Every structure is written in C-alpha cells, then in structure tokens.
Amino acid sequence: MKKSILSLSLSVAVSLLAACGGDKVARPYNDGVNIIPTPVEITSEEGSFLLKSSTRLSADRASEVVADYFAAKMSHSTGYNFDRKEAASDVIRLLVDTTLDVPSQEGYTLAVTSDVVTVTGKSAQGVFYGMQTFLQLLPAEIESSEVVDDIEWEAPAVTVRDYPRFPYRGMMLDVTRHYNDVEFIKKQIEVLAMFKINRFHWHLTDDQLWTIEINRYPELVRVGSVRHDQDGSVHSGHFTQAQVREIVAYANERFVDVIPEIELPGHALAALSAYPQYSCTGGPFKHRQVWGVEPDVFCAGNDATFEFLENILDEVIPLFTSKYVHIGGDECPKSRWEKCPKCRARMRAEGLKSTAELQSYFVRRIEKHINSLGKQIIGWDEILEGGIDPSATIMSWQGLEGGIQGARAGHDVIMSPGAWLYLDKYQGDPEVEPMSIGGYLTLEKTYGFDPMPEVLTPEEGKHIIGVQGNVWTEYMYEPGAPEYFIYPRILAVAETGWSPASRKDYSDFERRVDNAYVRLDCHDINYHVPMPEGPRSDYMAFTDTLRLAFTNTRNYPMVYTLDGTEPGVGSPRYVDTLRFVDNDTLKIATLLPSGKTSRVRTIVAAKESLSPAVTSQSRRGIVSRIAYGMYLDSVAMAKAKWSAPKVVSTFDTKWVESPHYKEPWVAVYEGLFEVPQDGVYTITTDQYLLYVDGRPVIVNSDKIATRHLHNKNTMALEKGKHSFKLVVNNRVAGGWPYTWSKATFYYMAPGSSKLVDVCNTPLSH
Ligand code: ACM
Ligand code: ZN
C-alpha cells in the first residue's frame, strides 16, 4: 500500500538503459517534429541534415560560449569532436544578429537544410534557444550522456522563426520543507533550460528551515538550517555562499536567472529560532514541526528587525545577478502584531490604521532598501493588501484576482495560480499516487492555463510578464522526490510561457511529451508516468468473482503478468476487464512508447469467505484507553502505561487532557460497528492503525503524512456487527499531526462508491 517515490526512481534507473542510448529498438517517439515549447513559426522543407563526425560547428564571437556548450553536449551522445571551423557545407553555424526581425532579445531563427544548419539569435540567449530547438529536431538520444552509436543523427529540414510570448518563464523550488542539494538544483536548471525556462525562483527560507549562509549571522545556519522533528529525526541542509555563486554561474551559462526568496514578515520561524529577539514576543522558538502557517513572525515595530533583515539582504543580493529579489509577503498572521507594544507604537507613529497597513509598511521599508541596492522586489499577491508601490512585481498565487488587480494598478505580474501551476498536487488518482498536499492537477489541466485574463485591456495585459510553476516540498520526503512532481507538468508551463496561445494544442503536446520523456531519461529525471488506476486497493477481496478494470490519465497501453514476474514490453497488453475466480497476484504497469514502464502495481486478488458477524448482545458506546507520551510504533505502544478503560460515545477527543499535538498521546478505541449487508467492503482511515475482526486493515506510516484517505483496504464481511480497534496516535508524522485528520474510519458498502463515516452509524461494545 505504500507508494514510495524511491522505489519508482529505482525502476527508472533500470529502464533508463533501454530508453536512453540503449539497444536497437524501434524508436517511434522520434517520429515527427517534437519541439517543446512549440515555435511561433515553423515550416517543413525538403530533405534533412545529418550530423556526422565530419560536421563542423562555427560561431561568431558573440556565440562562442553557446557553441562551446552545445559542442560539449552533442559530443557526449554522438562521440564526435565538432571541428570549430567555418565551411560551406556540413556545418552548424551560430550567429548573433542584433537587428534580427524578432520582437524579443530571446528570439532566433533556425534554418536546417541538407547542407547547413544556421542558428541566428538576436542575442546569445537567442542562439542558445535556437540550438535547443535544433537538438529537439534530432533524435531524443542526443541528450544522452553516453555515446549512442546505433542511430542516425538526422534532423528534418525546417525553417523556424521563434520568440517568447512572455519574458518570465519560471519554476520555484522550496528547499526549506525538504532540502535538495546543489547537484539536484543544477540538474533541474540544466533540464529546465532545454525547454526555454529562464527563471529559477529559489525559496530559501521559511518556518521549517533557513538554507542560506549569512556570515554576519552565523546562527542562521547553525540553528536555522537544522530542524529537529517531533519524532527525534533531524532534517537539515543549507547552501554556502560559494555554493550559491556556483549555482548562479551555472544557471547563467544556461540563461537562467536565479531569484532568491528571503521570506518576510511571515514564514520566518527558522530565522526566529536562531534570533528570537526579532519577533514580537522574544521567543524562544523551535522550527515549526508541522506544515501550515505560523503565528510568530518578524516584529514590525522593532527597528532592529529591519536592521537585521537589511544586513541579510546586503549579503544575499551580491551573490545573485538577477534584477529581482523575492521577499515573500504571503500568509503573515497579524495576531502577534495586534498584541505587541512595539508594533502598536509603530502603527500610531506612522498613522497606520490596520495591521494590513503595518504589513504594507514592512514590505515598503524593505523594498526601499532593496531598490537602493539596484534591485526590484517580487512578492506574493498579499503584498497588495494595505498598498504597495507600483515598482513591486506581484506573483499571483491565490488565483487570478491578485494578478488582475496588480496589473490594473500598474504592477508587473507573474501568474502562478495554485489551481493550475502548483506542481505539488496529485497528477492522478490519489489512491495510486504518492502522498501529496492534495488537489488534482493533471498535465492537461496545467497545459490548459492561460495567463492572460480576458478582463484586462491590452494596455493592462502588458503587465502580465509571465508564468511560473511552484514546487512546495512538504510532502516530498525523499531527496530527489520533487522531480516526480515537476515533470512533465513543467513542460506544459514552459509551452504556456513561450508559445503563442493560438499554437497550443494539447493532443500534439502529449505526442511531443512522449519524445521529451526520453530526453528526461537521458538526464536521469524521475518523472511522473501515469499509473494504472481503477482498483482502490492493492488487496482486492472477493467472494465469488473479481473483476478489475484499469485506465490511466494518458490512455497509454498497460501490460501485466500473473506469474509474479515484472511486466514489460513483451508482457500481455491489458485489453479489457480482468476476471479472477481464485487467489492470484496481478502485476500491472503503464507502458510508454519508449518501452519504459510506470511503477508496477501489485494487486492481490484474495478469495475470502465472509468474516462472521458478532452475535452476542452489546451495549451503546465504545471503550477507550489512553497513554500520554510519544509512541513511535506499536512496540513502544505495547509497553505504554495505559489508563483504565472508559466508555465513550464516539471517537472524539474531548475527554483527552490536551488534544494538542505538542503534548502527544495515543488512544485506542475498541468496539463494534455494523454493516448493512453481506459482501466486500472497502475500508479506510487516516488514523494510525485499524483492525477489523482482529485483522490489521489499515497500517499507516510512522514517517509520512496520511491524508485524503489515501490508503484503502478491502474485506468480506457478513451483515451485522464486527469488532474494530482504532488507534489514534496524536503525534506528528511527516509534518502532519494525526489529530488534524478526523478520528474515525469509513467503509464503502458493496456496489457503492459512497464512503460511510462510522461515527454516523451505531457503535457499541
Ligand atoms: C504560497 O503558496 N503561500 C505562496
Ligand atoms: Zn512586534
């Protein structure tokens, strides 16, 4: 039932051999033109260009660095050493022409004939993008880091004229909830640049971790970058200033601007854990151990807070070449400010009528400092509340409204609304996907987003400068896990940011994604592959006959086995409902055109007889016991000092001394629930453990959050009463306290898809 991303990355590593630079297999994904983002204008011509060991790569001075980059890249996969000479034929020619007729410095033209490839950029960045387009005309294996020799490096003859719809095409990565290191970030930048993404927004500070070295305030790293989670585990990580410079230089070589985010005035608890004197109460604090919004924020009344933040910014800003600094500004509760004498004095002194205006005072004061250093701020859309100068750029995340309001008020706007561009949501059925923050955001939905609200006039619309996909990492527990959420959805963001709306076509995009997958394999990217969906559980009980039907979000073929072996290209294709009359184990996976499979679903088909109902007399209420303290697992719980049993009416925790997760306890509820008919029931809970008729039906994780009734099981039950034992473990697992989910369990009756909360049914003991 566990949906580990780690096991997926292992299967990716194995199949990579076949998919990227592998054996002599058909490569249908290389058919046609597979450019992402699709160009503004592309015309097919007669013939094709063949890249050979004799091919030359010539560049004018302005394109030399770009030529070096692509010569190195193409030599890895082809094994050729591209002679850097001008020639009349068998040559790839790179030029900058500042007078090129394209409306953006990032624009380029590309002419591929059977003799010559000419890439002309309006700037070196344009040449870079022209070459990325040329590489996408070649077989996907051109991205391989190892020589592929059983392939013709052939690109169809075309002419292309291309330039971006928007100047800002970004991705944000949160390294504070779960840290990912320098190598991971470089890898993402390398791949994002292939798809003409030109901004990397680096969310460096939050309540859960401070991740950038500041020499003047060493405690920010010593204390702020080490989080002690409630279960005693430690999560830590930071970037030295040398590493930051290294990443910025690496990104700049790929024409990616790195934008640091230093969050203020809220989402600041990691900093305040190190320097509590800059809060309203003075602390002391520990990093926030759960996800969500923290009430303790920077004090707006204390001049020393501003001095602290300005000193930090004075160190941060010279590390970056971007003109932008992101200052956060989202989700700042005002409860501490309302009670703080210093904050109240500030409001009086400055004539501020509300704490919203106090937030605006805070942001403006920081903005002034950043402007004095020659940079401009970006803030989340809440910075509009209480007013902000038009020079601030608004990042519209809560919806389109902030962006619309911002554009009308003369702000530049970057659209990153959660409903389309938060790449931390489920990409398929939560029942088969790894735990995520929630929501349902398929590739198609992300692709369908248009950043230009129809309500804006053309003049206001000029303020929409681009789009960004955001990757918050609360539920991305393992290092590398964000890749599964980023790809392929970020490719949809890339196309939305670059291609004219009139050129977008989702079904053609899907076809091009199939080619891009192989490019991603070459970079060892652990992208999402649609999973076989349908059965709710990986244990499917039945009493007579079981029928299992599968779909996947891309309508890819699926392959399966019944002999315990792993399904692959040669396994039977799933055609229609599978029927089982005996115990069996099904392994089923989605099959990509490259021959790679998704993570395999192993489903046990289990013939059961009905678990008999309890016939003895019972009384109303259920029996509860409690043990205060923290219990990480069942072994520890068995040794706990339990209270005497007590009869309570339901699972609520009103009888518990302190239901707050900071004072942990574990409660066990035992009793009888009643089911209305004979048959197979689907059973689920987000609580820690559930036994039915003595069988462990749900065993949730010690380490990751359990939400969204993610784990389900099935069991054949006779009509009537059945015993249960529900364990509510009031502690934090993976940033989510069990008590944030309802203490109960649910069933789905045979033939129904409706969940019944047992709290609403008769309970007895
Ligand atoms: C945000 O998602 N709180 C910007
Ligand atoms: Zn204060």
* Domain containing residue 536: CATH number: 2.60.40
What single-letter DSSP state applies at residue 437? S
d(CA 109, CA 86): 19
Q: Is the CB of residue 546 less than 8 Å from the CB of residue 605?
A: yes
- Return the CATH number at 667: 2.60.120.1560
Residue finishing a domain among 162, 177, 192 = 162
| DSSP H stretches of helix in 381-481 | 401-408, 418-421, 443-447, 458-461
Span of 10-19, 342-351, 732-741 with lowest mean pLDDT: 10-19
Residues 401, 466, single domain; the answer is yes
Residue finishing a domain among 462, 492, 522 = 522
The residue whose two tokens read 């184990």 is: 585
Is 614 inside a domain boundary?
no
Residues 498, 540, single domain; the answer is no
Residue 561 has pLDDT above 90, yes or no: yes
* Angle of helix 506-522 versus helix 489-498 axis, rounded to 10: 120
Is 615 inside a domain boundary?
no
Instruction: Pick 632 or 121 by higher pLDDT.
Output: 121
Residue 24 has pLDDT above 90, yes or no: no
- Within a 13 Å sphere around the CA of 602, how many CA atoms are in the beta-carbon half? 8
In this structure, which ligand is nearest to the CA of 378?
1
- Return the CATH number at 46: 3.30.379.10
Answer yes or no: 660 catalytic: no
Residues 639, 674, single domain; the answer is yes
Is 435 inside a domain boundary?
yes
Counting the structural domains of the chain, the total is: 4
Residue 12 has pLDDT above 70, yes or no: no
Q: Is the CB of residue 437 less than 8 Å from the CB of residue 458?
A: no
Residue 538 has pLDDT above 70, yes or no: yes
Q: How far is CA 223 from CA 273, 285, 526, 547, in A?
A: 7, 11, 32, 55
3-state DSSP assignment of residue 92: strand
Residues 175, 130, single domain; the answer is no
Q: Which residues pair with 466 in a beta bridge?
A: 168, 414
3-state DSSP assignment of residue 511: helix
**Which residue is closest in CA terms to ligand 1's atom 3?**
330
Answer yes or no: 401 catalytic: no
Q: Is the CB of residue 710 less than 8 Å from the CB of residue 603?
A: no
- Return the CATH number at 361: 3.20.20.80
Residue 402 has pLDDT above 50, yes or no: yes
User: Which burial class, exposed, middle or buried, applies to 620 when counting CB atoms under 10 A from its CB (0-12, 13-18, 19+)?
Assistant: exposed
Residue 11 has pLDDT above 50, yes or no: no
Confidence of residue 21 (pLDDT cuts 50, 70, 90): low
Residues 213, 311, single domain; the answer is yes
Residues 218, 270, single domain; the answer is yes
CA 395 to ligand 1 centroid distance, Å: 10
Nearest atom in ligand 1 to the alpha carbon of residue 470 is 2
CA 470 to ligand 2 centroid distance, Å: 30
d(CA 658, CA 157): 72
User: Which burial class, exposed, middle or buried, applies to 182 when counting CB atoms under 10 A from its CB (0-12, 13-18, 19+)?
Assistant: middle
pLDDT at 652: 78
Please say whether the dihedral angle defined by the alpha carbons of residues 170, 172, 173 and 175, taken in this order, is positive or negative: positive
Task: Considering the candidates 201, 235, 238, 267, report the single residue annotated as catalytic.
Answer: 267
pLDDT at 594: 95
Residue 169 has pLDDT above 90, yes or no: yes
pLDDT at 250: 98
Amino acid of residue 632: L
Site to probe by mutation for ligand 1, drawn from 331, 394, 395 as the one with most ligand atoms within 8 Å of Cβ, is 331
Is 68 inside a domain boundary?
yes
3-state DSSP assignment of residue 489: helix
Which of 57, 185, 76 is closest to 131 using CA atoms? 57
Q: Is the CB of residue 364 less than 8 Å from the CB of residue 379?
A: no
The residue whose two tokens read 């460096």 is: 204
pLDDT tens digit string along 196-249?
999 999 999 999 999 999 999 999 999 999 999 999 999 999 999 999 999 999
Is 596 inside a domain boundary?
yes
d(CA 307, CA 162): 46
Residues 124, 54, single domain; the answer is yes
Residue 275 has pLDDT above 50, yes or no: yes
User: Which burial class, exposed, middle or buried, applies to 170 when counting CB atoms under 10 A from its CB (0-12, 13-18, 19+)?
Assistant: buried
Mean pLDDT of the 162-184 span: 98
CA 397 to ligand 1 centroid distance, Å: 6
pLDDT at 25: 54
Residue 325 has pLDDT above 90, yes or no: yes
Q: Is the CB of residue 180 less than 8 Å from the CB of residue 119?
A: no
What single-letter DSSP state applies at residue 611? B
Residues within a 6 A CB radius of ligand 1 = 330-331, 380, 397
Which of 153, 183, 193 is closest to 21 using CA atoms? 153
Question: Which distant-in-sequence residues (6+ apart) come within 8 Å of 651 by Cβ?
Answer: 622, 669, 726, 728, 743, 744, 759
Residues 135, 188, single domain; the answer is no
Answer yes or no: 206 catalytic: yes
pLDDT tens digit string along 702-725?
889 999 999 999 999 999 999 999
pLDDT at 2: 39
**Arithmetic mean of pLDDT over the chain:** 95
Q: How much of the chain exceeds pLDDT 70, in percent?
A: 97
Residues 730, 602, single domain; the answer is no
pLDDT tens digit string along 636-666?
999 999 999 999 999 977 778 777 888 999 9
Mean pLDDT of the 482-489 span: 98
Is 616 inside a domain boundary?
no
Domain that holds residue 127: 32-162
In this prediction the pTM is: 0.96
Residues 84, 198, single domain; the answer is no
| Distance in Å from the first CA to the final CA of the chain | 30
Pair of tokens at residue 475: 């539920």
Residue finishing a domain among 522, 539, 556 = 522
CA 350 to ligand 2 centroid distance, Å: 14
| DSSP H stretches of helix in 506-646 | 506-522, 634-638
Residues 157, 174, single domain; the answer is no
Is 613 inside a domain boundary?
no
Residues 140, 285, single domain; the answer is no
In this structure, which ligand is nearest to the CA of 402?
1
Is 704 inside a domain boundary?
yes
Residue 6 has pLDDT above 70, yes or no: no
